[in-house]
Amino acid sequence: MADEDPFLWLEDVTGEAALGWVRARNAETLEEITGGERFERLRKEIREVLDADDRIPYIRRRGEYFYNFWQDAANPRGLWRRTTLEEYRKDRPNWEVLLDVDALAEAEGENWVWQGATVLRPGFRLGLVELSRGGADATVVREFDLDRRAFVEDGFELPEAKSRVGWINEDLIYVGTDFGEGSLTTSGYPRVIKEWRRGTPLSAASTVYEGKLEDVSAFAYHDATPGFERDFVGSSPDFYRVEKFLRTEDELVRIDVPEDSQTTVHREWLLIRTRSPWTVNGRDYDAGTLLAAPFDDYLAGSRELTVLFEPDVRTSLEAYDWTRNHLVLTTLSDVRTQLHVLTPAEGWRREPMPAGPELGIAQVLDTDPDTSDEYLLGTSGFTEPPTLRYGHLGEETEVLKQSPARFDAEGVTVDQYFATSPDGTQIPYFVVRPQAAGGPTMLTGYGGFEVSRLPDYSGVLGRGWLARGGTYVLANIRGGGEYGPSWHTRAMKENRYLVYEDFAAVARDLVDRGITTREKLGTHGGSNGGLLMGVMLTRYPELFGAIVCQVPLLDMRRYHLLLAGASWMAEYGDPDDPAQWDYIGKYSPYQNVHSGRDYPPTLFMTSTRDDRVHPAHARKMVAKMRELGYGVRYHENIEGGHGAAADNEQLAQKWALLFEFLWSQLEY
């Protein structure tokens, strides 16, 4: 069937013919969308938001310092820097710059994009810095001396690959990378994990674990908690299952839990979060339950478990974070955040903890689980700018930083409604409306991989949409994690159609309530949300006045053969299996584009350097639609990776294209 595809040549990412096609489409789209004054105002205002000096510089503690990565107009590629708590409390902290990515890129003639650093505990003197070319997932790895603020000569270094690295001690690291034939999984991630000693060639590294070729990825990490040093290895057979082992000097000891559960170990405690119902020791536990047991007792065979959280039809566990002596639970009740503190030393005593706005979010951003009960808490809402609080559990919190408003929210209202999906399920969604409602409405959602979409603040959205009179709608459809694992699992594979029915139900409900009309309703989504947009385009075109489809999956017949696509078969299914293709093929957008349909105006956006979701999905969809006579728009950023932007200039351009397209199509 793939041989019948006339647009396979567009899968050649950097091929001369394919990039020539891309440049031609880019020129057409930019000429149409970017010529007016409104686009320039949008781009300028969004860039101001992204580069604003008074943004909160979010931090993470590593030893005595707090670290931050910062991008602005003067430093588009960014600065890796650090400061002390005393300095951070000041309006203008004195930052120690560790690495200037712009200067490095210029000196080396590379388009480096920062992808993070793994710093050695407990001394926090050495780091493994990851840099990508143009924002791709594949990175180069280099050892960095934080005290000297320089890369380590003859230190640990890896060429470009989708590697996994982690410290064991100052002279030893775990490494999974492209060691040659057979060392990667079919998804393109490390299959083999090795132990690599300083001063020896990578070829001399010794293998400590091997996954299967069909696994998604293998992993290994060292827990450096003083007094509880342990090593773990394992692999992920698919996106939601994990086989994890405690690595001792003599053997690998399997952590005997359901493969689809999530496990974490903190000091003497093992935590288990279930993703499906589990019966153990004569008791049934629902999906989404959080359980605790003494780690050593559990490995010795005990199955005495303590329930730390149990879900109900409205409430789910969103996150959990350890401090030195406590566990903080973040829960969602109808997508509204609540926080609780549990104390194991007192029989897991539970106490409520102040959260954020009622229709907003509260997130534990960082803790210090080794030495203290310190935490950093971020709060925001659709109309409430972010606030960063600092404190120690059991004490009053301190407001460290507060972002100024990026748009005038006077008179803007936030409401939550519920739409009824065809099977009767109630689907929550948020509506953010300016005082003078009646302008265009922009609906978005995701619906996959148990990712929750929460009501947080966006200066970009505020300036580009709300402040201009647009209404914004966020749908919490199935496939996400807003109501726990079951909200996700019930919409996987053969039940994927529920995601699309949910989103269509929200679109209809918006019109039925008089919030908008079909002509004024636009929608956008990216990645798995881009697939959602493709399905809306091909199966529900009558519901929308315009669609923006970003970094999307669209050719579900070949998605598992392109880049990291094989890793998502647990979500969507295997198109090579006729029984599974039977249900995938019913919604796969690329296969469901037909002539003679009344499709709404659509803009497709992707990135050449996206090495996660192949740009050919969007390329081929546009080529096919153009061949059928549809006037579809297309823009492909040459850099940017899966985020489709490598710096704030590109990000401002991306958002301005999206907003300008929707304004131009929906404003009547």
Please report the pLDDT score of residue 345 as a whole number.
81
- Summarised one tens digit per residue, pLDDT across range 432-480 is 999 877 899 999 999 999 999 999 999 999 999 999 999 999 999 999 9
Please report the pLDDT score of residue 2 as a whole number.
44
Q: At residue 356, does pLDDT exceed 90?
A: no
Question: Which of the four pLDDT bands, split at 50, 70 and 90, describes residue 640?
Answer: low
Q: What is the DSSP string of 111-130?
A: -EEEEEEEE-TTT--EEEEE
* pLDDT average, residue stretch 108-120: 96
- Asked about 527 being catalytic, the answer comes back as yes
Instruction: Measure the CA dihedral 426/427/432/437, to 10°.
Output: -70
* pLDDT average, residue stretch 393-402: 95
Residue with tokens 């710059």: 97
Buried/exposed code over 446-476 (b: 16+ C-beta within 10 A; e: otherwise): bbbbbbbbbbbbbbbbbbbbbbbbbbbbbbb
8 A C-beta contact, residue 536 and residue 552: no
Residue 148, C-beta contacts closer than 8 angstroms, at least 6 positions apart: none
Q: What is the mean pLDDT of the chain?
A: 95
Query: What is the percentage of the chain residues whose pLDDT exceeds 70?
Result: 98
- Summarised one tens digit per residue, pLDDT across range 226-268 is 999 999 999 999 989 999 999 999 999 999 999 999 999 999 9
Q: At residue 656, does pLDDT exceed 90?
A: yes
Q: Report CA-CA distances (Å) from 103 to 106, 240, 395.
A: 5, 40, 43
Which helix (DSSP H) or strand (DSSP E) does residue 280 occupy? strand 278-280
Q: How many residues does the chain have?
A: 668
Q: At residue 189, does pLDDT exceed 50?
A: yes
Q: At residue 607, does pLDDT exceed 50?
A: yes
Strand partners, 141: 130, 158
Closest to 587 (Cα-Cα) out of 515, 654, 539, 653: 539
Which helix (DSSP H) or strand (DSSP E) does residue 95 occupy? none
- Left if phi > 0, otherwise alpha if psi is -120 to 50, otherwise beta: which for 21? alpha
| Choice among 527, 567, 588, 607 that is catalytic | 527
User: Residue 488 and residue 480: Cα distance in Å, rounded?
Assistant: 5
8 A C-beta contact, residue 444 and residue 474: yes
- Summarised one tens digit per residue, pLDDT across range 483-500 is 999 999 999 999 999 999
Q: At residue 644, does pLDDT exceed 60?
A: no
Please report the pLDDT score of residue 346 as a whole number.
76
CATH tag, 2-33+415-666? 3.40.50.1820
Residue 301, C-beta contacts closer than 8 angstroms, at least 6 positions apart: none
Strand partners, 429: 417, 475
User: Residue 515 and residue 534: Cα distance in Å, rounded?
Assistant: 24
| Residue 304 CB coordination number (10 Å) | 10
- Summarised one tens digit per residue, pLDDT across range 510-569 is 999 999 999 999 999 999 999 999 999 999 999 999 999 999 999 999 999 998 999 999
Q: At residue 357, does pLDDT exceed 80?
A: yes
Please report the pLDDT score of residue 464 as a whole number.
97
- Domain borders along the chain are 2-33+415-666, 325-405
Please report the pLDDT score of residue 4 as a whole number.
85
Q: At residue 3, does pLDDT exceed 60?
A: no
Q: At residue 175, does pLDDT exceed 90?
A: yes
Instruction: Measure the CA dihedral 566/570/576/579, to 10°.
Output: -170
Please report the pLDDT score of residue 1 as a whole number.
42
Lowest-pLDDT choice from 49-58, 139-148, 306-315, 347-356: 347-356
8 A C-beta contact, residue 152 and residue 126: yes
Please report the pLDDT score of residue 192 as a whole number.
98
* pLDDT average, residue stretch 397-401: 96
| Choice among 266, 326, 635, 642 that is catalytic | 642
